[in-house]
Structure 1
């Protein structure tokens, strides 16, 4: 990899260790981004912090963090007090245990990173670890100090390389029971389940990330290019939707539409 590593350190498990670099697996270079502009002057607007009561600007040295109390007052916390809470960074990702890949709920997934070896010997160690994990269908739980915080990572094999995904902590993930406690118990008859199962079977396939596009970002790109060329985009047609309230009727129509599409395929007759 030619990109600059977000973090460099040691991947360690018992007596096995290798030097690795952590590279973000996400990219925003293809996304359209905007600046805030003064409509009257065309100049870029700069962000400035002001006192909520006086309206006067607050210099950086006078900005500190505050915890709001119920009465509206604040407990102030200085930067050196926060720095003292930071755990000591030993630049090590320590593998704590191995477990089946499917054992970790994907709700806890945060950000993915590529783990790349620093040296040739490190590459051999990582390749061996990746092969063994892939063969057994296992992943590893690791811990490290990353970006000034202690992090838990799920490390998985991807070919002969490793991918590390930071995990959200339990307090950061909403329980499904809490989020959906108001949903009533829905009863379905056999026909509804059969219709739903038929739709699923006819639409089954594999995940191809290139088949899914960011339509909003594509529309932004089209708009910006039209603005540069001095053109006006045509108004988009509003898609018509049937207001079908009955779920069973909606399932029946979906099955019927799927059947119409299937007739145009290249089915072979038996015999």
Structure 2
């Protein structure tokens, strides 16, 4: 069964255009989902909005958005007013510029989507755009209205298709200055830096997403299975926290361990494989 498209429109570069569809590239739908239960009755509970002053439930039709001006004072916006202010979607994903694939800082990346032709009539134009970008080693910047918001999208060649990643706006990305302000200006060199480089070289590898297991999700699955089967799960022992007293000694020990040949490579099992 073909996946359901999240959005359909037209990808346009200059006078070259082709109909395309966006598909979700990353999803949390396969994670374990829980309901909230009333412990006393075993019944599900549901959420409802209540008036903060009266405590009475507020029907959906009476719920509107409000922008706070001061404590207890709001500018009220009706759904129709908000809808009228949102830019109309012309379903056009118009490329504004090309840039090197590594030009954009990853902190601006939001959500990835697969971009594929939605009609046979546009397959040749789609292939031309994809192969041209791959050959030039560039990504495309485009803008359009997605899900009732104006979004900037980074488009890159990806196998037989394209990947379109929505980007955060500049005002949404916090400056790193505040987070890094208290990091002292230390310069590392000599044997310490040489040891660090050696340790890194002994652990150089390739990224294999199937080799990383979601231990939290696996633990939840095991807990649910144990509850269904009536088994008890012993609590896991708390991890031992070791305090590093001598950084140089720790580096030397890490380098020594890194030089030992591995006893046998193990690969974490992958629970699910994307179809």
Name the TM-score, length of structure 2 as normaliser. 0.91
The structural deviation recorded for 1:262 is 5.5
In structure 1, what is the equivalent of residue 112 of structure 2?
Answer: 112
Aligned to 2:186: 186
Aligned partners of 2:249, 2:51: CA distance in 1, in Å? 58
* Matched position secondary structure for 2:231: coil
- The equivalent residue for 2:9 is 9
Deviations 1:37-62 (A, max 9, x none): 11111111111001112211111121
**In structure 1, what is the equivalent of residue 269 of structure 2?**
none
| Distance in 1 between residues matched to 2:245 and 2:105, nearest whole Å | 33
Say whether residues 1:102 and 2:102 are aligned partners: yes
Q: 1:23 Cα shift?
A: 0.4
Query: What corresponds to 2:249 in structure 1?
Result: 249
Q: Which residue of 2 aligns with 1:60?
A: 60
Are residues 64 and 246 of structure 1, via their aligned partners in 2, closer, same or farther at CA, if it must alter by over 3 Å?
Answer: farther
The number of residues matched between the two structures is: 265
The answer on whether the counterparts of 1:37 and 1:44 sit within 8 Å (CA) in structure 2 is yes
What is the SS of the residue equivalent to 1:103? coil
Any conservation in 2 of the 1:131–1:159 contact (CA below 8 Å)? no
| Alignment check: 8 A CA contact 2:202 2:259 kept | no
Summarize the alignment of residues 68-87 of structure 1 with structure 2, pairs less than 5 Å apart.
68-87=68-87
Deviation at 1:111, TM superposition (A): 0.5
Relative to structure 1, the CA distance from residue 150 to residue 5 in structure 2 (aligned partners, 3 Å threshold; closer, same or farther) is same
**Structure 1: gaps of 5 or more residues:** 266-271
Query: CA RMSD of the aligned region, Å?
Result: 1.8
> Does the 8 A contact of 1:126 with 1:162 survive in 2?
no
* CA offsets 1:212-234 (integer angstroms, 9 cap, x no match): 11110111111111111111123
Q: CA contact under 8 A between 1:111 and 1:165: conserved in structure 2?
A: yes
Q: Distance in 1 between matches of 2:44 and 2:250?
A: 50
Partner residue, 1:268: none
Structure 1 position 72, deviation (Å): 4.2
Match of 1:199? 199
Question: Are 1:44 and 2:44 matched, yes or no?
Answer: yes
When structure 1 is superposed on structure 2, of 255-264 and 44-53 the one drifting more is 255-264
Alpha carbons of 1:68 and 1:261: their partners in 2 closer, same or farther (altered >3 Å)?
farther
* Aligned-pair CA distance for 1:66: 1.2
Q: Spell out, residue by residue over 1:200-223, the C-alpha distance to the aligned partner (whole angstroms, 9 max, x if none).
A: 111111111101111101111111
2:220 matched residue in structure 1? 220
Aligned to 2:92: 92
Q: Contact conserved, 1:94 with 1:143, CA < 8 A, in 2?
A: yes
218-227 vs 61-70, greater mean Cα deviation: 61-70
1:235 offset after TM fit, Å? 2.5
Deviation larger for 156-165 or 66-75: 66-75
2:232 paired with 1:232: yes
Q: Which residue does 2:167 correspond to in 1?
A: 167
More deviation, 113-122/7-16 = 113-122
TM-score of the aligned structures, taking structure 1 as reference length: 0.92
User: What residue number does 2:144 align with?
Assistant: 144
List alignment gaps of at least 5 residues for structure 2: 266-275
Q: Contact 2:98–2:141 at 8 Å: present in 1 too?
A: yes
Contact 1:126 1:160 in 2 (8 A): no
Q: List per-residue Cα deviations over 1:68-88 (Å, max 9, x = no partner).
A: 224442222221221121101
Report the CA distance shift for 1:21/1:245 in structure 2 as closer, same or farther (over 3 A).
same
1:269 aligned partner: none
